Structure 1
């Protein structure tokens, strides 16, 4: 038997550390060296691992793939706090927060799929920035005055499709604001730097979450691509993750319906966008319309037009997810 088979190595580089009796000390040698450098060698020589964890208590979340920066709990269990500034890769567990000496304030991560109120969702946002200026607006203005739902718009200056959708959305937003059913929107940046962030939000007549304050939103809403418009009701429920597609189909009527807290009828199968999925036949990305999957090929999808051309193996029609699902 090859060593890679014995230790079930699935990729390289991989470093398996053994004890003097040839028991496995850790399968995560590469990650442990990356985490603490030469300290890992010292710990291994003492028969100790760098990473450790504990079983979660009832209701505690396990943050797969996340390590506590100070105590190296991996995966991190329970409350997770981190820095939203780009370039600051720091995560702390609840026990280590009292030893925090990081230069920026830390925010508590929201657990994906867990329900939160709008106030809880925006708790890490100190204020909003006014449209195309530096005016600081109280965050709670988003949900005051009996607001039924709000839109959270993810985009970036480097995204050409985002510019087109932003222009269309701005037109409908302005129209809705002048009607009896104004709609609240807020921009969350996916830009790499603040200059790009300011260029992007300059095209928008709605407020923005400050640069370096929106990272938690991407994780909580499980954003898979940009541009993306997520509609959240006043009580924190996700009405749809595909708002941009509804805007393309329904125009200003979509915004007016959301302003009244209404759900729109599901998108037809022909209009549905599969974010993160492309057609292996014609390379359209994202795949739009009905999606056919080949389990024999693995990670192989076809749109309805390419499915009609035939395939060597049986294809499975993938059901369309609900609006609050991916």
Structure 2
């Protein structure tokens, strides 16, 4: 079916945006039909999402919490689910978790026209529209992650106010403000309480992780190895685990595998820190400097790339590392072949196509120098390529030195 042509007495309203020739209603979570005209005068969030994508499953309960808070406050906000699910069962199972309205899955033309109108290129996506159907914000997902319920009514004026508040908070940021509450001024260490004040003057990593997250399970041992190495070298480095576990059993399981500190399970600061640092995926490692200010939000990538050499994660240290890598790259062969790929891999730099990439050997992010297949885009870290060679030599019985590779242990 084709989308409805404009209705004369509603031209320019949200109404024409949200109906089709065969439908002038939404469905509710109870199965009831709700007329589109009942949303007149409201701010509407069009939620493009699907059951099959994990990031949608992660974001939906966060959005539901914000939605329920706004409803309790009596706001004129409504959400409409625009599904990309592949069948009715998947749609029904996912929609059960949502307290808002939805366009029926069978109305494919409405989904297509809305996707095209707002140029939706990925999910989850939350587009906020006004009563005339015009977009107020197209990056609603990020705004919800960053500001939560405070983002409402999502106008540019409101977001500008929040950005000013955010800058003021960052300017006065300290480790104590980040981790303490009125009721708690400590973190946990093997069932003991360690005052947050003991972290002042140290470089601190805030580690967002969970037992149910496979990338977290993979990254934690690597981080622990770096942590222990830095501690052995007497560096003032500490990590605080911020759990996103769904139950206390998972939290305790994580704590057993971690040699560092932790916030208590279910602590109120977890949600605050998630929004403050705009954490949208885990594992995430935020580095706080000795002055209490944020050094980088890319701690995970830096650990994967440089191991303990990344410490103290400052721009000066990263520049020093990059200069060393640039010098080492001069001795690397211009092209290689290895068992992981059928085509020849060429040595590339950031200026010749290296850029940000995901290493096809270790599945971690890389940037700058890489071995890349010009034909199909397959790429790996330089040291992953070296590790492949050394692994092959080991198989042949050759003596090899340990590889300095951020991806070792995959």
TM-score by length of 2: 0.44
1:83-109 deviation line (CA, Å, top 9, x unaligned): xxxxxxxxxxxxxxxxxxxxxxxxxxx
Q: Match of 1:251, SS?
A: helix
Task: Quickly say closer, same or farther: Cα 1:209–1:263, change in 2 above 3 A.
Answer: farther
- Residue 201 in 1 paired to residue 207 in 2? no
Alignment of 1:71-90 (within 5 A): 74=153
Partner of 1:158: 212
* CA pair 190-273 structure 1, distance change in 2 beyond 3 A: farther
CA positional deviation for 1:29 = 10
How far did residue 193 of structure 1 move?
Answer: 1.5
Q: Which residue of 2 aligns with 1:35?
A: 71
**Structure 1 residues 7 and 289: alpha-carbon distance in aligned structure 2, compared to 1, 3 A threshold:** farther
Q: Could you say if the C-alpha distance between residues 163 and 29 of structure 1 is closer, same or farther in structure 2, counting changes exceeding 3 Å? A: closer
Distance 2:241 2:68 in 1: 37
1:7 aligns with 2:13: yes
Shift of 1:180: 3.0
| Structure 2 counterpart of 1:245 | 301
Residues 225 and 32 of structure 1: CA distance in aligned 2, closer, same or farther (over 3 Å): closer
| Partner residue, 2:235 | 181
Q: Distance in 1 between matches of 2:223 and 2:266?
A: 24
Residue 50 of structure 1 aligns with which residue?
A: none
Which aligned pairs between 1:232-311 and structure 2 lie closer than 5 A? 232-255=288-311, 257-258=312-313, 263-265=317-319, 269=350, 270=354, 272=356, 289=367, 308-309=375-376
| Residue from 170, 179, 198 that aligns with 1:122 | 179
Aligned length: 224
RMSD: 4.6
Match of residue 278 from structure 2:
222
Is the alpha carbon distance of 1:15 and 1:135 closer, same or farther for their aligned partners in structure 2, counting shifts above 3 Å?
farther
Q: In the TM superposition, what is the alpha-carbon distance from 1:192 to its structure 2 partner?
A: 1.4
Correspondence 1:191 to 2:245: yes
Post-superposition CA distance 1:4-60 (Å, at most 9, x none): 863236568484448xxxxx53344997998259998xxxxxxxxxxxxxxxxxxxx
Asked whether the 8 Å contact 2:209–2:216 carries over to 1, the reply is: yes
Q: Measure the CA separation in 2 of the matches of 1:304 and 1:288.
A: 11
| Alignment partners' CA distance in 1, 2:36 and 2:69 | 9
CA deviation string 1:228-277 (max 9, x = no partner)? 1111113333222111222222222223x35x996423878548468xxx
Structure ranking higher in helix proportion: 2
Q: Do the aligned residues in 2 keep the contact of 1:67 with 1:75 (CA within 8 Å)?
A: no
Q: CA deviation at 1:75?
A: 5.6
Cα distance in 2 between the residues matched to 1:154 and 1:187: 6
Name the counterpart of 2:41: 25
Extract unaligned runs of 5+ from structure 1. Answer: 19-23, 41-61, 79-109, 291-302, 311-326
* Partner-residue secondary structure (3-state), 2:191: coil
Match of 2:328 in 1: none
Deviations along 1:193-242, one digit per CA (max 9) or x if unpaired, are 21111111211100001122212111111112111111111333322211
